[in-house]
């Protein structure tokens, strides 16, 4: 909006600009002794870790100062949480009982479904491909989970109970350990 406008009689008048308003507020604060410039007197303040160098940086700085992250960062945080939950369930699968296997597999499948939706949302929200995460292959993930339930790791080695695993008789924590 232009600082020049017409008054009621049609005469052109100049309104104060934002810059002059800012200058006036700073001057008044200085006069009251409320404005301490410290070492930066007469110089530009440095940008906070590169803030204001791109068109979105100012908005991101405002969000950061308010304790909020851009939506794609929040979405990535959710993806990391779900990936951690997926890994935890895979770890538990190799140690669980056969009785709880169906329930555990259903929970794992639900986490995969959530993760797939979150990764798709991240693909849409992330500003560049560098901030995206690769999508999951649900069939491969479920096959890895089923192998873990059967006691076989992806590399073909045994999970739990074997002499090299440190569990079971003779291992640490076992009757002989």
Q: Could you report the per-residue pLDDT of 123-157, keeping only the tens digit for each?
A: 999 988 888 999 999 999 999 999 988 875 555 55
Is residue 27 domain-resident? no
pTM of the model: 0.54
Task: Report the alpha-carbon distance of residue 119 to residue 80 in Å, rounded.
Answer: 10
Cα 50 to Cα 61: distance, rounded to the nearest angstrom: 10
Domain that holds residue 107: 71-149
Give residue for tokens 């068109």.
55
Count up the domains in the chain and report the number. 1
Residue 120 lies in a domain: yes
Does residue 77 sit within a domain? yes
Q: What span, in angstroms and rounded, lies between the C-alpha atoms of 6 and 11?
A: 5
Q: Which of 64, 65, 90, 88 is nearest to 159 (CA)?
A: 90
Residue 58 lies in a domain: no
What's the pLDDT at 173? 39
């Amino acid at each position: 909006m232009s600082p020049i406008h017409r008054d009621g009689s049609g005469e052109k008048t100049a309104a104060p600009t934002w810059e002059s308003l800012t200058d006036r507020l700073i001057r008044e604060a200085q006069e009251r002794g409320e404005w301490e410039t410290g070492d930066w007197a007469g110089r530009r303040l440095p940008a906070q870790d590169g803030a204001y160098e791109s068109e979105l940086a100012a908005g991101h700085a405002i969000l950061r100062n308010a304790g909020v992250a851009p939506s794609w960062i929040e979405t990535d945080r959710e993806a990391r949480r779900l990936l951690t939950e997926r890994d935890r369930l895979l770890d538990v699968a190799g140690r669980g009982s056969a009785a709880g296997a169906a329930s555990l597999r259903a929970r794992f499948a639900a986490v995969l479904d959530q993760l797939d939706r979150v990764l798709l949302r991240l693909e849409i929200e992330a500003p560049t491909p560098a901030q995206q995460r690769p999508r999951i292959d649900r069939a491969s993930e479920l096959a890895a989970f089923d192998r873990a339930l059967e006691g076989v790791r992806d590399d073909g080695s045994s999970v739990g109970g074997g002499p090299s695993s440190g569990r079971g008789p003779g291992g640490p924590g076992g009757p002989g350990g």
